[in-house]
Structure 1
């Protein structure tokens, strides 16, 4: 994706000379991989992945101690800062808080003090968006931290919604999240847990799910899709203003039937999409790059069963393992962008 900016200089009778300055967004992946070192300390590597032709270029950016309920890091290449979660104790209570680490100054700073758990972190402009649970709550919600004012905002303080997925659309500069009504989810779980003995082999029937689009108005996101008793396993943003959406008839641990579609964000219509779940084990982390017909995902190579960054060729239907951890386990992955002026 490129935006050309033309600057004209030296207007005269002579032949005009022009200089063209180009701003280019370079998409990259930030991967968290966790391992245990020789002393028994759990650590998380923060790795930067760039696609180059048919291969990948991976760089170890930094390593932080894995000291949270869930290992979570993300590298903001634009500002050379790592954001990560770390457990903080206050008396007998604890919670995973948002921290920043400046690569240049080597300084770590605690940014929050009232979160219980964090599942996703996305640095976008002057804000850090997260999906997590506040202290003394039982539901996941969307949070926003203002890097300039230090203000912390919570989308749903009443726990009406229980959020599950959060992605950043690097092409549309928006965030998308999935959620279900918290009361409906409780009813579905109660129904499943109290089912009669003759239904013990039946799968859990999920509640309806909604996809939210978070734009400039944080407290008034747009609801763009609703399911009927279908779980949303994954969403991924494409360069052509679509979302790749995978539905499931039950939870991932219950061997669900998957169904993938493209959601046209202009028309809100669903279109057919490749059945990647028939080709490999695919997690919720799925990505699309410009001028590339492949689908990239964190999952398992069907030949070796090794977990890593894989590509799925939509024409040949071939899955390739592009990157695997040499030291531990890949926990999560985020797609972000860096603005480069040439």
Structure 2
């Protein structure tokens, strides 16, 4: 029974998301037409100041039988205020969203199809024109949605496939480009809009399946062998696949600051009480160093540095309350930004300002 439970828990970890194809960098044309909201000739990449976009779900009423609504919230670092931007029905397996403040667009996921044939698809809402367009039609589940200029990057699972892939939608042509191959399971990504580089934590589907199949051993002993996770660098065209480093750690979250990629990793899955190992990779020197994260655990939720690198915006549990926090790097201090008493935060992204 323990072995079955362990297997189910591991499968749940890998369930959410990706993009799949039989060939490296396969380019497929999205057949769905979108309105002018996704067709603007020029798009801003960075706002003036930092902000955090987060997705929050709660019941529409006190009765749990009522529908769950998902809100898109935005925290402005200059005003220290959090405001509600948009709301949509919770229909996706795990709804995600991203508020593109400079262009007044919201990208989000919703379920499309019947009870037997369905998948989570990416939509875009033009807040100024109050128009919504569907951008994808063949995804099953989605784990990341991040726009940058005329591209929308995502991590998702295509219907009928097992791989978890990084992909990009050209918002002008509506073409989709996929990165790597169908043996890829992408765990985490982070973008550098200034250098137009993406950093990807990924591992092998075949190796994961082998580890699951050969985890039997003495009763009470954990014999699961952690797959090799590799952090790669690729360009915004998704043509590059530069290997930075590999570890037999669960590299669960990536952040970036000038000249560095920061990887949060664990030796085992779901060991929240054990401090994470932080890998700091120097992009210029091609070297890395490891340290132990010595304060509150940063949860999976796409944490990242502020533009001036003095703060980290993150999801964490502080004083037994889960929420969005600002972590002062020098003072080792957490300041609460948003701590919902009801409902839950689905995801977040840090958008760095230009100044």
> What band does the TM-score fall into relative to the shorter chain?
0.7 to 0.9
Task: Specify the structure having the higher radius of gyration (Cα).
Answer: 1
User: 1:312·1:320 contact (CA, 8 Å) conserved in 2?
Assistant: yes
Change (3 A) 1:309 1:172: farther
Out of 110, 117, 125, which is 1:86 matched to?
Answer: 110
| C-alpha deviation, 1:101, in angstroms | 0.7
User: 1:115·1:135 contact (CA, 8 Å) conserved in 2?
Assistant: yes
SS at match of 1:83: strand
Greater mean alpha carbon deviation, residues 43-52 or residues 118-127: 43-52
- The answer to whether structure 1 residue 209 and structure 2 residue 229 are counterparts is yes
CA RMSD of aligned residues (A): 2.3
User: 1:294·1:312 contact (CA, 8 Å) conserved in 2?
Assistant: yes
User: 1:56·1:323 contact (CA, 8 Å) conserved in 2?
Assistant: no
What does residue range 1-342 of structure 1 map to in structure 2 within 5 Å? 25-38=48-61, 40-52=66-78, 56-89=80-113, 92-156=116-180, 158-192=181-215, 195-198=216-219, 200-202=220-222, 204-227=224-247, 229-238=248-257, 240-253=258-271, 256=274, 258-272=276-290, 275-276=292-293, 278-284=294-300, 285-301=302-318, 303=319, 305-325=320-340, 327-337=342-352
* Aligned counterparts of 2:314 and 2:353: Cα–Cα separation in 1: 20
User: 2:189·2:253 contact (CA, 8 Å) conserved in 1?
Assistant: no
What number of residue pairs does the alignment pair up?
306
Higher relative contact order structure (alpha carbons within 8 Å, sequence separation ≥ 6): 2
| C-alpha deviation, 1:184, in angstroms | 1.1
Residue by residue, what CA displacement relative to the aligned partner does 1:119-173 show, whole Å, maximum 9, x if unpaired? 00011111111001000011211111111011122224x4121111122224533
* Aligned counterparts of 1:295 and 1:329: Cα–Cα separation in 2: 20
Is there any run of 5+ residues in structure 2 with no aligned partner, and where? 1-45
Change (3 A) 1:246 1:77: same
| C-alpha deviation, 1:253, in angstroms | 4.8
Residue by residue, what CA displacement relative to the aligned partner does 1:294-326 show, whole Å, maximum 9, x if unpaired? 33311111x2x1111223333333333232235
Q: Please state which structure has a larger fraction of its residues in strand.
A: 1
User: 1:49·1:56 contact (CA, 8 Å) conserved in 2?
Assistant: yes
Greater mean alpha carbon deviation, residues 291-300 or residues 117-126: 291-300
SS at match of 2:286: coil
Q: Aligned residue for 1:17?
A: none
User: 2:148·2:193 contact (CA, 8 Å) conserved in 1?
Assistant: no
* Aligned counterparts of 1:102 and 1:246: Cα–Cα separation in 2: 35
| C-alpha deviation, 1:289, in angstroms | 1.1
Q: TM-score, normalised by structure 2?
A: 0.79
